[in-house]
Amino acid sequence: MQIATWNVNSIRQRTEHLLRYLREIGPDVICLQELKCVDAAFPYAEVESCGYNIAVHGQKGFNGVAILSKQPLEVTRGLPGDESDEHARYIEAEVIDGDSIVRIASLYLPNGNPPETDKYTYKLAWMDRLAAHARNLLALEEPLVLAGDFNVIPAARDCFDPAAWAGDALYLPQTRARFHTLLNLGFTDALRATTDAGGLYTFWDYQAGAWQRDRGIRIDHVLLSPRAADRLTEVVIDKERRGKDKPSDHVPIRVTLC
Protein backbone atom coordinates (compact mmCIF):
# COMPACT_ATOMS: atom_id res chain seq x y z
CA MET A 1 0.00 0.00 0.00
CA GLN A 2 1.50 3.30 -1.08
CA ILE A 3 0.43 6.45 0.79
CA ALA A 4 1.52 9.96 -0.24
CA THR A 5 1.01 13.42 1.20
CA TRP A 6 1.28 16.75 -0.64
CA ASN A 7 0.59 20.37 0.24
CA VAL A 8 -0.54 21.52 -3.21
CA ASN A 9 -0.82 25.23 -2.28
CA SER A 10 -4.13 25.81 -4.15
CA ILE A 11 -5.77 22.87 -5.86
CA ARG A 12 -7.24 25.10 -8.57
CA GLN A 13 -3.79 26.32 -9.57
CA ARG A 14 -2.23 22.88 -9.23
CA THR A 15 -4.89 20.56 -10.69
CA GLU A 16 -2.75 19.54 -13.66
CA HIS A 17 0.22 18.89 -11.36
CA LEU A 18 -1.95 16.61 -9.21
CA LEU A 19 -3.44 14.74 -12.17
CA ARG A 20 0.03 14.16 -13.63
CA TYR A 21 1.20 12.78 -10.29
CA LEU A 22 -1.80 10.47 -9.99
CA ARG A 23 -1.20 9.14 -13.50
CA GLU A 24 2.58 8.79 -13.21
CA ILE A 25 2.97 7.63 -9.59
CA GLY A 26 -0.54 6.42 -8.76
CA PRO A 27 -0.37 6.06 -4.95
CA ASP A 28 -3.17 4.03 -3.38
CA VAL A 29 -3.94 6.97 -1.11
CA ILE A 30 -2.86 10.59 -1.27
CA CYS A 31 -3.43 13.20 1.44
CA LEU A 32 -3.68 16.81 0.26
CA GLN A 33 -3.36 20.08 2.15
CA GLU A 34 -3.89 23.80 1.56
CA LEU A 35 -6.62 23.31 -1.03
CA LYS A 36 -7.76 26.94 -0.69
CA CYS A 37 -11.26 26.13 -1.92
CA VAL A 38 -14.69 25.11 -0.69
CA ASP A 39 -15.78 21.50 -1.15
CA ALA A 40 -17.84 22.24 -4.26
CA ALA A 41 -14.87 23.82 -6.08
CA PHE A 42 -12.68 20.72 -5.86
CA PRO A 43 -11.98 19.12 -9.29
CA TYR A 44 -13.96 15.95 -8.57
CA ALA A 45 -14.54 14.79 -12.15
CA GLU A 46 -10.90 15.12 -13.16
CA VAL A 47 -9.61 13.23 -10.10
CA GLU A 48 -12.32 10.56 -10.34
CA SER A 49 -11.24 9.95 -13.94
CA CYS A 50 -7.89 8.81 -12.53
CA GLY A 51 -9.66 6.14 -10.46
CA TYR A 52 -9.91 7.81 -7.05
CA ASN A 53 -12.60 8.17 -4.41
CA ILE A 54 -12.53 11.65 -2.86
CA ALA A 55 -13.13 13.09 0.61
CA VAL A 56 -12.77 16.85 1.02
CA HIS A 57 -12.87 19.20 3.98
CA GLY A 58 -12.54 22.59 2.30
CA GLN A 59 -12.62 26.25 3.21
CA LYS A 60 -12.92 29.38 1.14
CA GLY A 61 -9.61 31.04 0.30
CA PHE A 62 -7.30 29.14 2.66
CA ASN A 63 -6.71 25.87 4.53
CA GLY A 64 -8.56 22.81 3.24
CA VAL A 65 -7.56 19.14 3.32
CA ALA A 66 -8.52 16.03 1.36
CA ILE A 67 -7.93 12.31 1.08
CA LEU A 68 -8.01 10.55 -2.31
CA SER A 69 -8.15 6.76 -2.34
CA LYS A 70 -8.46 3.99 -4.89
CA GLN A 71 -10.57 2.17 -2.29
CA PRO A 72 -13.80 3.42 -0.63
CA LEU A 73 -13.50 5.77 2.34
CA GLU A 74 -15.24 6.05 5.72
CA VAL A 75 -14.64 9.71 6.57
CA THR A 76 -14.55 11.96 9.66
CA ARG A 77 -13.95 15.70 9.26
CA GLY A 78 -12.42 18.04 11.82
CA LEU A 79 -10.04 17.63 14.75
CA PRO A 80 -11.85 17.00 18.07
CA GLY A 81 -11.29 19.13 21.15
CA ASP A 82 -12.50 22.62 20.19
CA GLU A 83 -15.98 23.04 18.72
CA SER A 84 -15.28 26.74 18.07
CA ASP A 85 -12.42 25.98 15.68
CA GLU A 86 -13.72 26.52 12.14
CA HIS A 87 -10.43 25.94 10.32
CA ALA A 88 -10.53 23.08 7.80
CA ARG A 89 -7.25 21.44 8.80
CA TYR A 90 -8.01 17.79 9.54
CA ILE A 91 -9.74 14.91 7.79
CA GLU A 92 -9.56 11.24 8.73
CA ALA A 93 -10.60 8.11 6.87
CA GLU A 94 -10.72 4.36 7.20
CA VAL A 95 -9.36 2.74 4.03
CA ILE A 96 -9.67 -0.92 3.10
CA ASP A 97 -6.33 -2.64 2.50
CA GLY A 98 -6.89 -6.26 1.60
CA ASP A 99 -8.51 -7.91 4.60
CA SER A 100 -7.69 -5.08 7.01
CA ILE A 101 -8.40 -1.41 7.63
CA VAL A 102 -5.80 1.36 7.66
CA ARG A 103 -6.80 4.64 9.33
CA ILE A 104 -5.28 7.66 7.60
CA ALA A 105 -5.42 11.35 8.56
CA SER A 106 -4.55 14.29 6.34
CA LEU A 107 -3.60 17.31 8.43
CA TYR A 108 -2.51 20.88 7.86
CA LEU A 109 -1.03 22.11 11.10
CA PRO A 110 -1.10 25.89 11.74
CA ASN A 111 2.00 27.87 10.77
CA GLY A 112 2.00 29.88 14.01
CA ASN A 113 3.91 32.96 12.88
CA PRO A 114 4.52 35.51 14.26
CA PRO A 115 5.25 33.54 17.44
CA GLU A 116 4.48 36.46 19.77
CA THR A 117 0.84 36.50 18.61
CA ASP A 118 -2.31 34.45 19.13
CA LYS A 119 -1.38 32.52 15.99
CA TYR A 120 1.33 30.70 17.91
CA THR A 121 -0.96 30.07 20.87
CA TYR A 122 -3.42 28.51 18.43
CA LYS A 123 -0.68 26.37 16.88
CA LEU A 124 0.39 24.93 20.23
CA ALA A 125 -3.21 24.32 21.30
CA TRP A 126 -3.89 22.57 17.99
CA MET A 127 -0.87 20.34 18.50
CA ASP A 128 -2.08 19.48 22.00
CA ARG A 129 -5.47 18.51 20.55
CA LEU A 130 -3.78 16.41 17.89
CA ALA A 131 -1.76 14.55 20.51
CA ALA A 132 -4.88 13.88 22.60
CA HIS A 133 -6.78 12.58 19.58
CA ALA A 134 -3.82 10.50 18.40
CA ARG A 135 -3.57 8.91 21.83
CA ASN A 136 -7.21 7.83 21.55
CA LEU A 137 -6.68 6.47 18.04
CA LEU A 138 -3.66 4.45 19.14
CA ALA A 139 -5.91 2.66 21.62
CA LEU A 140 -7.73 1.13 18.64
CA GLU A 141 -4.55 -0.88 17.92
CA GLU A 142 -4.85 -0.65 14.13
CA PRO A 143 -2.49 0.65 11.42
CA LEU A 144 -2.66 4.45 11.69
CA VAL A 145 -1.00 7.06 9.49
CA LEU A 146 -0.82 10.78 10.30
CA ALA A 147 0.28 12.53 7.11
CA GLY A 148 0.53 16.13 6.05
CA ASP A 149 2.07 19.53 6.41
CA PHE A 150 2.99 19.66 10.10
CA ASN A 151 4.71 23.06 9.81
CA VAL A 152 7.36 21.63 12.12
CA ILE A 153 11.12 21.40 11.49
CA PRO A 154 11.94 18.50 13.84
CA ALA A 155 15.73 18.93 14.05
CA ALA A 156 18.70 20.94 12.80
CA ARG A 157 19.41 18.44 10.01
CA ASP A 158 15.92 19.15 8.63
CA CYS A 159 16.72 22.71 7.49
CA PHE A 160 19.44 24.34 5.41
CA ASP A 161 20.45 26.80 8.16
CA PRO A 162 19.19 26.21 11.72
CA ALA A 163 20.31 29.68 12.85
CA ALA A 164 18.07 31.29 10.27
CA TRP A 165 15.03 29.51 11.75
CA ALA A 166 15.85 29.91 15.45
CA GLY A 167 13.05 32.39 16.14
CA ASP A 168 10.50 30.93 13.74
CA ALA A 169 7.33 29.18 14.95
CA LEU A 170 8.24 26.14 12.86
CA TYR A 171 11.44 25.55 14.83
CA LEU A 172 10.91 26.97 18.31
CA PRO A 173 11.62 24.54 21.16
CA GLN A 174 7.94 24.43 22.18
CA THR A 175 6.98 23.40 18.66
CA ARG A 176 9.57 20.67 18.41
CA ALA A 177 8.72 19.42 21.89
CA ARG A 178 5.10 18.90 20.90
CA PHE A 179 6.15 17.07 17.75
CA HIS A 180 8.26 14.79 19.93
CA THR A 181 5.23 14.26 22.15
CA LEU A 182 3.65 12.47 19.20
CA LEU A 183 6.76 10.34 18.74
CA ASN A 184 6.80 9.55 22.45
CA LEU A 185 3.23 8.25 22.17
CA GLY A 186 4.63 5.54 19.92
CA PHE A 187 4.59 7.08 16.44
CA THR A 188 7.50 6.62 14.04
CA ASP A 189 8.73 9.40 11.75
CA ALA A 190 8.72 7.30 8.57
CA LEU A 191 11.61 9.08 6.88
CA ARG A 192 13.83 8.89 9.96
CA ALA A 193 13.11 5.18 10.23
CA THR A 194 14.95 4.76 6.93
CA THR A 195 17.76 7.37 7.05
CA ASP A 196 19.59 9.79 9.34
CA ALA A 197 20.82 11.92 6.43
CA GLY A 198 20.46 15.69 6.41
CA GLY A 199 19.53 17.81 3.42
CA LEU A 200 16.26 15.96 2.83
CA TYR A 201 13.64 18.65 2.34
CA THR A 202 9.96 18.88 1.36
CA PHE A 203 9.57 22.68 1.08
CA TRP A 204 11.48 25.42 -0.73
CA ASP A 205 10.24 29.01 -0.52
CA TYR A 206 9.42 30.88 -3.72
CA GLN A 207 11.69 33.73 -2.63
CA ALA A 208 15.46 34.34 -2.85
CA GLY A 209 16.19 31.41 -5.16
CA ALA A 210 15.57 28.88 -2.39
CA TRP A 211 14.90 26.04 -4.81
CA GLN A 212 17.85 26.80 -7.07
CA ARG A 213 20.16 27.01 -4.03
CA ASP A 214 18.57 24.00 -2.30
CA ARG A 215 17.75 26.09 0.77
CA GLY A 216 14.87 23.90 1.92
CA ILE A 217 13.24 22.58 5.06
CA ARG A 218 11.49 19.34 5.98
CA ILE A 219 8.02 20.13 7.32
CA ASP A 220 5.84 17.52 5.58
CA HIS A 221 5.81 14.28 7.53
CA VAL A 222 4.32 10.81 7.66
CA LEU A 223 3.96 9.44 11.19
CA LEU A 224 3.18 5.76 11.64
CA SER A 225 1.61 3.91 14.55
CA PRO A 226 3.45 0.77 15.67
CA ARG A 227 1.28 -1.49 13.51
CA ALA A 228 1.87 0.72 10.49
CA ALA A 229 5.59 1.11 11.19
CA ASP A 230 6.01 -2.67 11.25
CA ARG A 231 4.86 -2.68 7.61
CA LEU A 232 7.11 0.15 6.36
CA THR A 233 9.32 -0.80 3.42
CA GLU A 234 10.17 2.48 1.64
CA VAL A 235 10.02 6.27 1.89
CA VAL A 236 10.44 8.56 -1.12
CA ILE A 237 10.51 12.36 -1.39
CA ASP A 238 9.43 13.30 -4.91
CA LYS A 239 11.79 16.25 -5.05
CA GLU A 240 11.69 16.65 -8.83
CA ARG A 241 8.11 17.96 -8.62
CA ARG A 242 9.46 21.26 -7.27
CA GLY A 243 11.26 21.86 -10.58
CA LYS A 244 8.08 21.73 -12.67
CA ASP A 245 6.47 24.82 -14.20
CA LYS A 246 4.49 26.84 -11.61
CA PRO A 247 4.85 24.21 -8.87
CA SER A 248 3.70 24.10 -5.29
CA ASP A 249 6.40 25.18 -2.84
CA HIS A 250 6.01 21.72 -1.26
CA VAL A 251 6.71 18.32 -2.80
CA PRO A 252 5.07 14.97 -2.11
CA ILE A 253 6.49 12.45 0.31
CA ARG A 254 5.21 8.87 0.09
CA VAL A 255 5.60 5.68 2.03
CA THR A 256 5.06 2.04 1.09
CA LEU A 257 3.57 -0.39 3.58
CA CYS A 258 3.79 -4.12 2.87
Strand partners, 3: 29, 255
Q: Known binding site for Mg(2+): residues? A: 7, 34, 149, 151, 249-250
| Phi/psi of residue 19, nearest 5 degrees | -60, -40
Q: What is the largest CA-CA distance in the chain?
A: 49
Choice among 17, 87, 221, 250 that is catalytic:
250
Per-residue b or e along 182-200, where b marks 16 or more CB atoms closer than 10 Å to that residue's CB: beeebbbbbbbeeeeeeeb
Q: Which of 85, 153, 78, 176 is nearest to 122 (CA)?
A: 85
| Binding-site annotation, residues | 7, 34, 149, 151, 249-250
Whole-number Å distance between alpha carbons of 242 and 246: 9
Catalytic option among 90, 108, 171, 201? 108
Question: How distant, in Å, are the alpha carbons of 12, 169, 222, 227, 256 from that of 144?
Answer: 29, 27, 10, 7, 13
108 is catalytic: yes
Q: Burial of 127 by CB count in 10 Å (0-12 exposed, 13-18 middle, 19+ buried)?
A: buried
Catalytic residue among 97, 149, 158, 189: 149
The conformation of residue 178, written as its DSSP 8-state character, comes to H
Active site residues: 108, 149, 250
